[in-house]
Amino acid sequence: MINQIYQILIKSVTDLCYQTCLAHFSKNASILDVGIGNGIMIKKFHDLIKSKDLKITGIDINQNYLKHCDSLIKKYALEKNIEIHCKPVEAYEPGTRGLFDFIFFSMSFMLFNDQSLVLKRLKDWIKPGGEIVFFQTMYTKRLRMMEAIKPNLKYVTGIDFGSVTYEKDFFALLKDQGVLIKENRLLKRKWFQGEYRMIVTTLG
């Protein structure tokens, strides 16, 4: 039931997210997808993942989502391209330093209570010259109504949409952690003045 609600509410933005970010990733790249969710993107993008021979490691904390994701991996024969782990990013250990070409937050970064800690941990996981890619909803103006509504949507939908992310605060956090912005691409404007962005960064 939750997977059905997930698909209805955010399938279109998930498609936009992966269409944009998978196109950005280089061929044969090793990618950590933080918050891979139920893998619904596999239905539409399995051919692209195979043609670019991407190696995706997906982590998430929702076992139901990952069970659904695993079924899609098997259905589309992506066992060589995607592996998944039920682990929070705060506890995940890749086992090797400098393992990933890209670390990718697919609408998941706003869910973390300690975002500074997350950024500090992943610095050892990325290859020299690698990129941290964020896809998320950004706001430029203070919206108190959204601040009240968004964190509580999980009690209605069963899906955690996190807190409101303001551009000024987000960029200040990146600067504080020595993360440099390479690209800040506006993809689509949405309701209540939110903007879908792909933000590509590197380590300073």
Q: Taking each helix axis as running N to C, give the angle between helix 63-75 and helix 2-24, from 0 to 180 degrees, rounded to the nearest 10.
A: 60
The residue among 94, 93, 81, 84 whose CA lies nearest residue 33 is: 84
The domain tally of the chain equals 1
- Judge whether 195 lies within some domain: no
- Judge whether 172 lies within some domain: yes
- Judge whether 14 lies within some domain: yes
Q: Are 193 and 174 in contact, with CB atoms under 8 Å apart?
A: no
Opening angle at CA 95, ends 58 and 132, nearest 5: 50
Residue 168 has pLDDT above 70, yes or no: yes
- Judge whether 167 lies within some domain: yes
Write the pLDDT tens digit of every residue in 121-133: 999 999 999 999 9
Q: How confident is the model at residue 164 (pLDDT cuts 50, 70, 90)?
A: low
Residue 173 has pLDDT above 50, yes or no: yes
Both structure tokens of 125 = 């996981």
Domain region containing 97: 2-109+119-142+158-188
**Going along 143-204, which residue ranges are E strands?**
179-189, 195-203
Write the pLDDT tens digit of every residue in 92-125: 999 888 899 999 999 899 889 899 999 999 999 9
Output the domain CATH number for residue 72: 3.40.50.150
What percent of the chain lies above the pLDDT cut of 70?
81
Tell me, what's the pLDDT at 28?
98
- Judge whether 201 lies within some domain: no
User: Within a 13 Å sphere around the CA of 187, how many CA atoms are in the beta-carbon half?
Assistant: 21
Write the pLDDT tens digit of every residue in 134-143: 998 888 766 5
Write the pLDDT tens digit of every residue in 72-96: 999 999 999 999 999 999 999 998 8
- Judge whether 197 lies within some domain: no
Task: Give the predicted TM-score (pTM) of the model.
Answer: 0.85
